[in-house]
Chains A and B, each alone.
Chain A
Amino acid sequence: MVDNDFLVMRGISKSFDGTQALKGVNFCARLGEVHAIVGENGAGKSTLMKILAGALHRDAGEILLDGSPVLINSPFAAHQLGIRAVYQEFSLVRHLSVTENILLGQMPSGRLKWLLDWKKAHQQAEEKLAEIGFTGLDVRTQVARLSVSQQQMVEIAKAAVTRPRIWILDEPSAVLSQEELNRLFEVIQKLKQESALILYISHRLEEVYQVADRITVLKDGELIGTVSPREADQNRLIRMMVGRDLGEFFPKRQPRPGEEALRVQDFSREGWFDKISLSVRHGEIVGLFGLVGSGRTQVARCIFGADPHNTGDVFLEGQPVRLRSPGEAVRMGIAFLTEDRKRDGLVMNCSIVDNASLATLNQVSKFGVLDIKKRDERVQEKVEELSIHPTQISRLVRQLSGGNQQKVILAKWLLSQAHVLIMDEPTRGVDVATKVEIYRLISDLADRGVGVLLISSELPEILGMSDRALVMREGALVGEFTRTQASEERLLACAAGVVQ
């Protein structure tokens, strides 16, 4: 058994600032398998993988490849050993073409050594993409113009140039729609057939079951166990991950929709979406589903005044309003939780208290001067209410795990006491336990009369949470389903434009 293990990580330990992130983890994996690594945020998955990829140095332990110990002290050393990592944040040069990105550092030269042979380069890049089974992309395109999933394919193709034996895919699916995910799985199968080892980190258990041959569970920096998907069902896996039963995943609630809170009428933004009309009542959770690129986020941003719209009206409590900036929207009682917390949700270099109080500074200040005590108390209260860890509000948000970062954003909007809450992918990249907490929180807010517009590309989330589900496709609203009408098949067919 052990003889089969190509990769052996033995007794790996790592600590950051006194917190033990990994406690003597023993991890083994074989060639030709897709090995999923799951665990809550902060369980140590990413740390373990970063040590393997040479991005972090281990404090203790050893790594063996094919039975012989290796020294991995830099990403370059890892590359040399055939280990490649594809992270959530891509390492692409955005303003260069696909070709240049794939062949970065090894562009073919022409007859003259210092001239590039572009024709050959484009050809080679196309071949690399075809090798991982990805065609239909113009390699002359600037990477910045590609969709996220296309960028991911470029990233994988780029890594594939060196023919790695071990692949580390860190949350590769976080930004993909179902269709794109299937394409990724095909690529993974292809890599597997070439007898590579694929280490697959994900929060989404459904897809782990779809793709993995074996699953390793980490919890609090320790390896809990390695199981095969056949012998352990999702509930058991979740128990292993959190060490307890979660109970109901989605909270049960009796929706009591009240008056109309938010309505948009014939809302359009040229080139993005067209003639969207929707409404959210107080105490109602309206799900907005659509594939990536369907325009969901744009609609939300325009309602919130973050981007301009061309035509259409917004009504709050039945009154027409003109929201020209997020500031106006916040003052009118709208909150907007964005989908990408690093890009536009948090100031990573600032503290929990700075971030959590950002939307409500005017509530804790007089003539522009802050009442620090009041601010801190209010934030501290929310930190405890949402059980954000660590509880010291002076900690930098950068040092928090993804789930806790998301809770800080939630705290920010809870403090604003908005009566309309727009949430764009509120559970993206957070662990299962936090997910459940966030669902409870959304449900509580709705029960207290907040109107919630929940944007998500996770079908179970839309189905489990919404009282009413709307579907967008290519910038248009194409379907509306009540809770009883909605089903995974129907929503997906509607979003993909398949006639049933």
Chain B
Amino acid sequence: MKPSFFSAAWRLISGWLFTRGRGGVDLKRRWIDYAFFGAFVILLIVTAMMSDVFFTQRNLSNLMRQTVTNGLLSLGMLIVILTGGIDLSVGPIVALTGIMVAGFSNQGMPLPLALLICLGVGAAVGAVNGFFIARFKLQPFIVTLATLGAIRGLVYVYSDIPITPTDPAFRASLGAGMVGPFPIAALIMLACFPLVWFFLNRTRSGRAIVAIGGNEEAVRLAGINVTWNIFLAYILSGLFAALAGVILASRLGISQPSVGAGFELDAIAACVIGGAILGGGGGSTFGTLAGVGALGMIDNLLNLFNVQSYYQQILKGVIILVAVLARRKQR
């Protein structure tokens, strides 16, 4: 695996490093836009083919399940990033809704109702974020940093020990359920991508959100309620985090109050690898999906090749940097 992995990586990086210079700028940009992911995906597939486990149905459905959390979080994160903001509080929301849904289940509450309440809780946390950011024009980083800590505290107030739901239906439905060869959870996540695409491209609020990240004042002067749309973006992010939390709890079959640390970073990474620009003005659902897939595949592959998880983190960091460098704005 090693020689091909490195030679392909080298070609990718050297091509980027050494085609700099006059005249090549436009061509290079196009090359990056269309070829970056192509090269990356080919690289991953080649690597995957070297593993005899990767293309087993068991591993693939595992891979899909593992990307669900980050996929959902990234969608919410994308919406927020498009407004020019950021949402650091998604990790604790995952923990909070996960532990709540487990608690509700053990109290005998029907699952759909528990799910609904948890979605409401996620939306409510998002609304708190959105309220302070949109209404009082506070910096998104600071506001969601504050809720990041506060919600984590709330999780431990709710339960400082893991909760294991006893109801077997809890796992069977969302976490382990399959439709044919596909995990239900993955199908839900995949369905959310076109939904968010539709929201961003075909609804009034979606177009406003995309435009707000580009130039908030111009949007406001066009008569659009900017405050409401930013508020909405954080609610949606909270909602997706809640959905991710419930599904994760269901997949693991146990809800830890400590779960979700660093999840916001993976979500931001997926968006950025997919071409989103922190501060607004760029980003797409397709790119984000690619980013989620790429990150998921890296994790999965390195696991298959028994690479220690610490190395995985290092590699992920490198990949994020390379992706952002390659896509950085050219003059």
Instruction: List residues of chain B with CB within 8 A of the CB of A204.
Output: none
Minimum CB distance partner of A416 in chain B: B223
Q: In the assembly, what is the distance between CA of A349 and CA of B279, in Å?
A: 12
| A349 & B214 in contact (Cβ 8 Å cutoff) | yes
| B204 & A338 in contact (Cβ 8 Å cutoff) | no
**Minimal beta-carbon separation of B106 from chain A (angstroms):** 39
Asked whether B211 is an interface residue with its Cβ less than 8 Å from the other chain, the reply is yes
| B22 & A73 in contact (Cβ 8 Å cutoff) | yes
Within 8 Å by CB of A347, from B23, B204, B214, B225, lies B214
Query: Known contacts A55-B331, A331-B223, A358-B224: does B218 contact A345 (CB below 8 Å)?
Result: yes
Instruction: List residues of chain A with CB within 8 A of the CB of B282.
Output: 349
8 Å CB interface, A310-351 against B: 325-331, 336, 338, 343-350
Query: Known contacts A73-B22, A347-B214, A349-B281: does B222 contact A370 (CB below 8 Å)?
Result: no
Query: Known contacts A17-B26, A57-B22: does B221 contact A336 (CB below 8 Å)?
Result: yes
Within 8 Å by CB of B222, from A56, A73, A358, A369, lies A358
**Minimal beta-carbon separation of B275 from chain A (angstroms):** 12
**Minimal beta-carbon separation of B207 from chain A (angstroms):** 6
Among the listed stretches A107-115, A238-246, A360-368, which one makes contact with chain B, having 4 or more residues with CB under 8 Å of it? A360-368
**Minimal beta-carbon separation of A129 from chain B (angstroms):** 31
Q: In the assembly, what is the distance between CA of A331 and CA of B222, in Å?
A: 10
Query: Known contacts A326-B220, A331-B223, A344-B221: does B23 contact A57 (CB below 8 Å)?
Result: yes
| A372 & B225 in contact (Cβ 8 Å cutoff) | no
Within 8 Å by CB of B223, from A16, A329, A345, A354, lies A329
Contacts across chains A and B counted by CB atoms under 8 Å: 91
**Minimal beta-carbon separation of B302 from chain A (angstroms):** 35
Interface size of B in residues (CB-CB distance below 8 Å): 26
Instruction: List residues of chain B with CB within 8 A of the CB of A349.
Output: 214, 281-282
Q: In the assembly, what is the distance between CA of A338 and CA of B221, in Å?
A: 9
Asked whether A138 is an interface residue with its Cβ less than 8 Å from the other chain, the reply is no
Asked whether A59 is an interface residue with its Cβ less than 8 Å from the other chain, the reply is yes
Q: In the assembly, what is the distance between CA of A202 and CA of B22, in Å?
A: 28
Instruction: List residues of chain B with CB within 8 A of the CB of A327.
Output: 223-225
Chain A proximity mask over B58-88: 1 for CB below 8 Å, otherwise 0? 0000000000000000000000000000000
| A370 & B223 in contact (Cβ 8 Å cutoff) | no
**Minimal beta-carbon separation of B155 from chain A (angstroms):** 34
Instruction: List residues of chain B with CB within 8 A of the CB of A329.
Output: 223
**Minimal beta-carbon separation of B236 from chain A (angstroms):** 13
Minimum CB distance partner of B25 in chain A: A57
**Minimal beta-carbon separation of B231 from chain A (angstroms):** 14
Q: How large is the interface on A (under 10, 10 to 19, 20 to 34, 35 or more residues)?
A: 35 or more
Q: In the assembly, what is the distance between CA of A17 and CA of B282, in Å?
A: 20
| A344 & B215 in contact (Cβ 8 Å cutoff) | yes
Asked whether B33 is an interface residue with its Cβ less than 8 Å from the other chain, the reply is no
Q: In the assembly, what is the distance between CA of A345 and CA of B217, in Å?
A: 8
Within 8 Å by CB of B219, from A343, A348, A358, A368, lies A358
Instruction: List residues of chain A with CB within 8 A of the CB of B224.
Output: 327, 358-359, 361
Asked whether A86 is an interface residue with its Cβ less than 8 Å from the other chain, the reply is no
Instruction: List residues of chain A with CB within 8 A of the CB of B22.
Output: 57-59, 73
**Minimal beta-carbon separation of B233 from chain A (angstroms):** 14
Q: In the assembly, what is the distance between CA of A325 and CA of B226, in Å?
A: 10
Q: In the assembly, what is the distance between CA of A365 and CA of B205, in Å?
A: 11
Instruction: List residues of chain A with CB within 8 A of the CB of B235.
Output: none
Q: In the assembly, what is the distance between CA of A109 and CA of B219, in Å?
A: 46
Interface-central residue, B207, B221, B223, B282, by most chain A CB under 10 Å:
B223
**Minimal beta-carbon separation of B329 from chain A (angstroms):** 11
Instruction: List residues of chain B with CB within 8 A of the CB of A328.
Output: 223
Instruction: List residues of chain B with CB within 8 A of the CB of A59.
Output: 22-23
Instruction: List residues of chain B with CB within 8 A of the CB of A330.
Output: 222-223
Asked whether A304 is an interface residue with its Cβ less than 8 Å from the other chain, the reply is yes
Asked whether A412 is an interface residue with its Cβ less than 8 Å from the other chain, the reply is yes
| B214 & A369 in contact (Cβ 8 Å cutoff) | no
**Minimal beta-carbon separation of B43 from chain A (angstroms):** 29
Asked whether A306 is an interface residue with its Cβ less than 8 Å from the other chain, the reply is yes
20 A-B residue pairings within 8 Å (CB atoms) = A17-B26, A55-B331, A306-B220, A325-B225, A326-B222, A326-B223, A327-B225, A344-B217, A344-B221, A345-B218, A346-B218, A347-B215, A349-B281, A350-B214, A358-B207, A358-B208, A358-B219, A361-B224, A369-B202, A412-B222
Q: Knowing that A17-B26, A354-B210, A361-B204 touch, tell me 5 more A-B residue pairs with CB under 8 angstroms.
A: A325-B220, A365-B203, A368-B203, A370-B207, A412-B222
